[in-house]
Each structure stands twice: as structure tokens, then as C-alpha cells.
Structure 1
Amino acid sequence: MLTAIIHGLVLAFGLILPLGVQNVFVFNQGITQPNFIRALPVIITASLCDTLLITLAILGVSIIVFGNPIIKLSILLIGIGFLIYMGYLTWKSKPNHQASEEKALSPKKQMAFAASVSLLNPHAIMDTIGVIGTSSLSYSGTEKRLFALSCIFVSWIWFFGLAFIGRMTGKFFDSRRFINIVNKISAIIMWCTAIYLATTL
């Protein structure tokens, strides 16, 4: 059982560590929100989306997705289009001179965007379903459940930590300039991800 737990922790951490669209958005909200509590909608939404993807992957959706080329192609095409569009919007967005409360996203917008960058990001879907789903086939019963819970635990801890680090970073740097840099990096990551996914078609 300990092997399943350690495997889940290490595997999930390795998958979530790269600076992807989802991570940059959660980090960005940690910066822009006036306090940490106001960033909870994005943290909880991103964590719940990861929980859903991990659960579906371990329940066997990976077999369905990777066994059906049409479904896989559809996910990739939708995701590529989404990443290109969101990259454009993020690149063009500029932090204004208003108060933090006015420029920060509302809870509903945080939740909607967090869900979209989580559930419409084919790279994350393929990683979760392909890697975690496939790895879970090594376990059964209690070990499989512990493996799943370990992966889910990493996601929740990671997003809380990421938003907190963003919040701390925003306190020590010029918020508007820093947000602008993060937005540019986020847009570039989205476009690079879209290009990479396009090469896999």
C-alpha cells in the first residue's frame, strides 16, 4: 500500500509541476486578488477539475479515449483552438490603474476560466488520462484507491500553495508590471502548447 501512495504522490507531482496554462492562471489570481480568501474560487475549481479528471482516468476512461481515434482527435482540435484564442486574450490584456478589487476577476469568472483551462486543456487531459490512468492499472482494490487519493491530494496542496506564493509575490513587486509579465508568459505557454499539440496530430 505504501508503494501505491508514494507512486501516486511522485507521479502527480511530476505531472503538475511544469508551468502550464492552469498553473499560471492560479498563480496569477493569487497576485491579482486583494487577499488570499478571494482566490479560493480558482483554487477549489482547479482542484475539483483535477479530481474529476483523475477519478475518470482511474475508472477507465483512458481505455475509451485512447481506444477511439475520433474522440482523441476531437479533444486535441478543440483544445488547440481554445489555447490559441485564450493566448490571444491573455496577451492583449493589460492591468489597469484601478484598485485591486476592481481589476481582480469575480468568483464566477475565476471558476469559469479555471474550469476551462483545466477541462479544455488537452495536454492536461492526455497527461492525466494517459499517464495516471495507465499507471493505475498496476493496482486494484484498496491500493488503487490509495493511489487515486494520493494523486488528488497533490493537486489540492499544489493549487493552494501556488496561489499563496502568487499572493506573497504580489506583495513584494510592482503588481501591474508583474501581472503584465505573467500574462505574456502565460500567453506564450498557451501558444507553445497549441503548437506542440498540433505536431502530434
Structure 2
Amino acid sequence: MTAFIHGFLLALGLILPLGAQNVFIFNQGANHKDLRKTIPVIITAGLCDTVLIVLAILGVSLILLSLPVLQLIVYVLGFGFLVYMAITLWNEKPKHLEYQSPLSAKKQIGFALSVSLLNPHAIMDTIGVIGTSAALYQGTEKWIFALSTISVSWLWFILLAFLGKLIGTVDRTGKWIVYLNKVSSLIIIVVAIIILKNIIDILF
């Protein structure tokens, strides 16, 4: 029980901040009239977090932490994808909710992969925090800890999409969706700037 509570609270604390991944999932919930249309982004983000957590707990994270070159590659790729996503969101200007063109399942999966697997902060959270915390446990307790952290990700992503859908349902004109896209874009740009600073720190 201790391992489960520890994992649950730790994962909740890490996932609550408004990062690029959270913003994107919420945005998709708001932009789709049917919540089922957000299933691709929920599943992709959930699977990505699951993979990262399992790898971190298995100790693969130690490799990334010990090789600055790999860290630099992750940061550069992550920066590029975040800038591209921010531009895409900023340029989305639906005149009316009925005439919107929400992201297709393929694009949802692509963006979700980029903000999950190429998100340096998400990787460092799983590697530096969840991975090292899991080292406190052995055997069954370690996997209870892992399942607890993984369950938080899945439940949170489903909740985010649902909350986004509520916004989209209330806003029948699409006006608030435009504002949401702009705010989402700005948040992602801030995250990208932080990543750029990390790139500069590594290089110089």
C-alpha cells in the first residue's frame, strides 16, 4: 500500500503542471465535438508515459543520464517539434465550431508522440524522479509503484480530454476555442524557450 500511495502522489505531482503534453490533450478535447475522436491522443500519450516509466524503472534511464550527447539530441528534437506544434495551434482560426477541422487521428498520434517521447521535461521526470524513486522498492512492491504511476497518467489524460470537451460544448461559436489555441501556443513556446536554454547550457 505504501508503494502504491507513494507512486500515485508522486506521479500526480509531476503530471499536474500545465506542460505541452497536457495542453495538447486538453486542446484536442475542446476541438472535437465527439469525445471518442480524442481516443487516439489519449491512447498514444498513455502508452508513451507507460513506456517511459517502465524503461526508467528497469534502469535504462541511467544510460541517458550518463551520456550528455543523447540528452542534447532529445532536447534539440523536442525543441523543433514544440515550435512546429506552437505555430500550428496559433494558426488554427475556426470561424465556427461546426466548421472546424480538428486534427485527424494520424496527426493526433504524431503530435502526441512528439510531446511525449520528445519532451525533455517528461523524460527527465520519469528518469530523474520516478526511476530513482522506484529504486526504493524491490520485487512486487516496485511493480505496484510502477502501476500506480502509470494509472495516474491514463486517468489524467482521460480527464483532460473530458474537461476540454466541456469547454468545446459550452462554446458553440468557436470563439473560446480560438483563445484556447492561442494560449496553448504561448505555453508551448515558453516550454520550448526553456528547452532552448537547456540546449545552450549543454553546448556552452
TM-score, L = length of structure 2: 0.91
The CA RMSD measured in Å over matched residues stands at 1.6
1:150 aligns with one of 145, 148, 165? 148
Deviation at 1:98, TM superposition (A): 6.6
Other structure's SS at 1:159 match = helix
1:31–1:163 contact (8 Å) kept in structure 2: yes
Other structure's SS at 2:18 match = coil
Other structure's SS at 1:99 match = helix
Alignment pair present for 1:39 and 2:46: no
1:80–1:198 contact (8 Å) kept in structure 2: yes
Q: How does 1:46-195 map to 2 (within 5 A)?
A: 46-97=45-96, 99=98, 103-174=101-172, 176-195=174-193
What residue identity is the alignment partner of 2:188?
M
Determine the C-alpha separation between the residues in 2 that align with 1:63 and 1:182: 38
Determine the C-alpha separation between the residues in 2 that align with 1:103 and 1:143: 46
Determine the C-alpha separation between the residues in 1 that align with 2:121 and 2:67: 17
1:24–1:182 contact (8 Å) kept in structure 2: no
Determine the C-alpha separation between the residues in 2 that align with 1:81 and 1:38: 26
Determine the C-alpha separation between the residues in 1 that align with 2:68 and 2:192: 19
Partner residue, 1:8: 7
Other structure's SS at 1:138 match = coil
1:95–1:176 contact (8 Å) kept in structure 2: yes
Question: Are residues 135 and 157 of structure 1, via their aligned partners in 2, closer, same or farther at CA, if it must alter by over 3 Å?
Answer: same
- Which deviates further from its counterpart, 148-157 or 42-51? 42-51
TM-score, L = length of structure 1: 0.92
Determine the C-alpha separation between the residues in 1 that align with 2:110 and 2:5: 32
What residue identity is the alignment partner of 2:31?
T
Determine the C-alpha separation between the residues in 1 that align with 2:148 and 2:97: 41
Count of aligned pairs between the two proteins: 199
Deviation at 1:199, TM superposition (A): 2.5
Determine the C-alpha separation between the residues in 1 that align with 2:43 and 2:132: 26
Partner residue, 1:21: 20
Cα deviations across residues 51-70 of structure 1 (Å, max 9, x unaligned)? 11111111112211111111
What residue identity is the alignment partner of 1:118?
S
Determine the C-alpha separation between the residues in 1 that align with 2:154 and 2:63: 26
Deviation at 1:175, TM superposition (A): 5.0
- Which deviates further from its counterpart, 190-199 or 59-68? 190-199
Determine the C-alpha separation between the residues in 1 that align with 2:6 and 2:193: 31
2:97–2:173 contact (8 Å) kept in structure 1: no
Cα deviations across residues 159-188 of structure 1 (Å, max 9, x unaligned)? 111111111121112452122111111111
**Moved >6 Å (runs of 4+):** none
Cα deviations across residues 140-167 of structure 1 (Å, max 9, x unaligned)? 1111100000000000100111111111
- Which deviates further from its counterpart, 9-18 or 103-112? 103-112
Deviation at 1:80, TM superposition (A): 1.8
Determine the C-alpha separation between the residues in 2 that align with 1:35 and 1:135: 38
Question: Are residues 106 and 88 of structure 1, via their aligned partners in 2, closer, same or farther at CA, if it must alter by over 3 Å?
Answer: closer
